[in-house]
Amino acid sequence: MPGLQAKSYRIASIPGDGIGIEVVESTIEVLKQLSLTLGTFNIEFTHIPWGTVYYKEHGRCVDPDVLNILRRFDATLFGAVGAPDVPDYISLWGLLLAIRGPLQLYANVRPDIDWLLIRENSEGEYAGQGGRSHLGQPWETATEVSIFTRVGIERIMRFAFDAARKRPKKFLTVVTKSKSKPMTVRMVNNPTSLDTIVGTNLHMDILSDLAAALAGSIGVAPSSNLDPTRKNPSLFEPVHGSAFDITGKGVANPVATFLSATEMLDWLGEKDASKKLITCGENVCEAGILTPDLHGTASTKDVVQAVCDEIVDLYERPPRVIRHPTKRF
């Protein structure tokens, strides 16, 4: 049992759609095992059913009080949003972008093998500034305006410099329009010449997908949406989407969400637990217990079981996880 000194964390769990539900459920199971075995922290999840199913019922993807609801938690663990029968602009703008911008989660951080990718997450090309004129006319016109403010740029650059300084190479690359093409080529041809990379919302959206593909599968790419001022709770999620093509087949790779959870633990101050979970995940991957996206034959459940077994083995304590009911929201 967790000791008296164990800190307790309240986490909002938003599994969302498709495999988001599968990978978040898997991650909660692993985190509960970690908490039980280590005994150094308690973690309580509150399930929040926002996403496209909620949209079909309520006409919106989230509760109107979304920001105040999330502010009651220490962090959010997010799965993915998107469904084949709901346009992406509704699911993306209605859920994720409704949280990231208003909560000022301005630093999107993606550790990827040897790189640290930092994406400006609150303005730029995704600022939501645009509209239509001459509706219905043949000359109907649409605009989408990119917003770059001094405050927005300065704070992400400061964050990026701080992050780069903490790494052994202490080397930061800034992606700009004129440098985005040679930079992209360098990621493929000369990857070791890069370390920390920072860029705008759109540039880094694209480049981080490339990084995930270079790492072997998007199924292992984690991300953090941070409010570095810590005024608002940060949100942690896998880079991938809801993957309709494999939903319900039991083969979704949960590793990206496990790694997102390690970032969450680290952010909350549970650095030792975070490192231990990374080690357990690495051991499982090295043992060849891999889902089909990594050319393995394991199911999602096999990977969860193997990571839970690793956690138990590392500390040689026998109790296997009891499935705690997750609180309903």
CB of 247 to ligand NAI, least distance (A): 9
Identity of the amino acid at 252: A
**74 in Cβ contact with 265 (< 8 Å):** no
How many residues touch Mg ion under the rule CB under 5 A: the total is 2
Residue 22 engages Mg ion in binding (rule: CB under 5 A)? no
Closest CA to 42 of 197, 203, 265: 265
The C-alpha atoms of residue 265 and residue 133 are separated, in whole angstroms, by: 47
CB of 158 to ligand NAI, least distance (A): 26
Q: Which residues bind ligand NAI (CB under 6 A)?
A: 19, 23, 80-82, 88, 92, 96, 218-219, 240-246, 252-253, 256, 291, 293
Q: Select from ligand NAI, Mg ion, none the partner in contact with residue 204, using the beta carbon and a kind-dependent cut-off of 5 to 8 Å.
A: none
Residue 237 engages Mg ion in binding (rule: CB under 5 A)? yes
Residues 66-105 that bind Mg ion (CB under 5 A): 80
Residue 293 engages Mg ion in binding (rule: CB under 5 A)? no
Query: Quick one: which H or E segment has residue 132?
Result: strand 124-133
Instruction: Rank residues 263 and 293 by Cβ distance to ligand NAI and give the closer one.
Output: 293
**67 in Cβ contact with 101 (< 8 Å):** no
CB of 20 to Mg ion, least distance (A): 8
**81 in Cβ contact with 92 (< 8 Å):** yes
Q: To which residue do tokens 């087949």 refer? A: 249
Q: Select from ligand NAI, Mg ion, none the partner in contact with residue 253, using the beta carbon and a kind-dependent cut-off of 5 to 8 Å.
A: ligand NAI
Instruction: Rank residues 31 and 290 by Cβ distance to ligand NAI and give the closer one.
Output: 290
Among the candidate windows 8-16, 180-188, 237-245, 287-295, which touches Mg ion by CB under 5 A? 237-245
CB of 132 to ligand NAI, least distance (A): 22
Distances (CA, A) of 111 to 179, 195, 221, 250: 21, 10, 8, 26
Please enumerate in sequence order all residues whose Cβ is within 8 A of that of 273, keeping only pairs 6 or more positions apart, or say none: 34, 35, 38, 40, 41, 265
Binding site for Mg ion (CB under 5 A): 80, 237
